[in-house]
Structure 1
Amino acid sequence: MKVLAVETSSAVISVAVVDEQRLLAEYILNQERNHSMKLMPVVELVLEDASLALKDIDVFAVAHGPGSFTGLRIGVATVKGLAQALKRPVVGVPTLDGLAFNLAYVRGLICPIMDARRAQVYTSVYRWSGNALERLEEYSAMSVEKLIEVLNKWDEPVHFCGDGIFAYRSVIEERMRSRAVFAPPTHALQRASSIAWLALERALAGDTQNYWELQPFYLRKSQAEQRFESRRQDGEAGC
């Protein structure tokens, strides 16, 4: 089984192809470029370098959220279009699961943090149990201060990854000191290969979707939606 995965939930754009035994090809670009213009050329490049065609792909996968509202829509729409055209199943993988999978088999807790703006991060907490990655907390949007309170339930090292470590590393180090461990740059950000491996596991277990069922996974409303609701409520209050 071959899985093609795309990751466009942040400034990073990444595409990977895996089969049941190996990573066949992966492309990662961290340049904050226009995902809508770059994604399909990257898909074509990865397939060409892997000596594959789109018809050779059995399952399409995507990091479907949380993350950048625009980036998620681009990734999900692209995967839905490919799956519809080729009549293939899809798998939507939570972005935070993919980030946690970057830190395979580390001891202690894994805490991906994505910069969600407005002084919040998208986050959850994981640990490895044998060969299984277990999620210990719900997917959430919260302040780093609140997250540290949550992490203090455990007295063990916490491995942080995600772009939130660049914005909040000093705060975390000050509050958690030696308990905080930060992923190296090679494993800190989103990778389509992690999404692909998680999707492959689910596909082999029969856990796939039809393309029309796949939707972005948002933890909160966009800023535009929040402004619209605020204006509407202000208007209703003035009536």
Structure 2
Amino acid sequence: MKVLGIDTSSKVAAVAIMDEDKLIGEYIINSNKSHSEKLMPIIQEIFSQCNLTVDDIDLVAVCIGPGSFTGLRIGVATAKSIAHSKQIPIVCVNSLETLAFNMNLSKGIICPIIDAQRNDVYTSKYTWENNSLLCIEDISVKNIDVLIDQIKDRYEQIIVVGDAVDIHKEKLESLNNIYISPNSHKVPRASSVCQIALEKYKNNIIDDYMTANPLYIRKSQAEVEYEERQRRMGENG
């Protein structure tokens, strides 16, 4: 079974093709180009370099968020289009479990943090048990100072990973029980998306082009501002 993995949950665009027994190819582009500019060329290039076509793909794996609202829409829409055109299933993977999976078989607590703006982060907690990644705290939005207060006195080693690590690095480095993941593991990897998706597929956790949707957690800034304008118009009306 060949899996096409797509992750556009951050400014990183990541695409991978994985078989059940090997990683065939992976592209990770961390640049300021928009996902609308870089995603399709990456997909076309990886198929070309791997001597494959979309007809060889049996399953589409896509990161659904939380993360960049625009990026998620582009990535999920692309995955749905491929799945629809080829009538193949989709497996949805959240961005926090993908980042945690990068720290394969680490000891301690893995705490992915993704920038949610306004000093907030999307976060959750994971641990490895019997060679499986387990979620031990659900996804939430927290102020970074609140999160630091919650983890600073824990006796376990806390491994932090994700794009918010660099933003809040000074605060994180002040804690004795924090381990900051290396740059190679800090960014989203589509190979992790593929690996998680294969396990979910084996457990019959499957979506399709109708049911796969972005996981936003909270409203975008544009939606908040629009609702505020509507509220003011109503008050003035």
**Normalization by structure 2: what TM-score?**
0.96
Q: How many residues align?
A: 237
State the superposition RMSD in angstroms.
1.2
Q: For 1:104, give the aligned amino acid.
A: N
Output the CA distance in 2 between the equivalents of 1:16 and 1:189: 14
Given candidates 207, 210, 214, the residue that maps to 2:208 is 210
71-80 or 154-163: which moved more?
Answer: 154-163
**Residue number in structure 1 paired with 2:87:** 87
Q: Identify which of 177, 195, 198 aligns with 2:196.
A: 198
Match of 1:234 in 2: 232
Query: Residues of 1 paired with 2:62 and 2:87: CA distance?
Result: 16
Instruction: Give the stretch that moved more between structures: 151-160 or 63-72.
Output: 151-160
Give the letter aligned to residue 18 of structure 1.
M
Shift of 1:152: 4.5
Q: Deviations over 1:165-216 (max 9, x none)?
A: 1000111222x2x201001110011110101100111112221111111100
Task: Give 2:86's aligned amino acid.
Answer: L
Three-state SS of the structure 1 residue aligned to 2:168 is helix
Match of 1:96 in 2: 96
8 Å CA contact 2:154–2:177 kept in 1: the answer is no
Code of the aligned partner of 1:227 = E
Structure 1: state its 5+ residue gaps.
Answer: none
CA-to-partner distance for each residue in 1:75-101, whole Å, 9 max, x for gaps? 000000000000010011000110000
TM-score between both structures, scaled by the size of structure 1:
0.96
Is 2:27 the counterpart of 1:27? Answer: yes
Matches of 2:226 and 2:183, distance apart in 1: 38
- The DSSP-based 3-state class of the residue aligned with 1:20 is coil
- Asked if 1 retains the 8 angstrom alpha-carbon contact of 2:8 and 2:74, the reply is yes
Q: Which runs of 4+ in 1 moved over 3 A?
A: none
The aligned amino acid for 1:234 is: R
Opposite residue 54 of structure 1, the aligned amino acid is: V
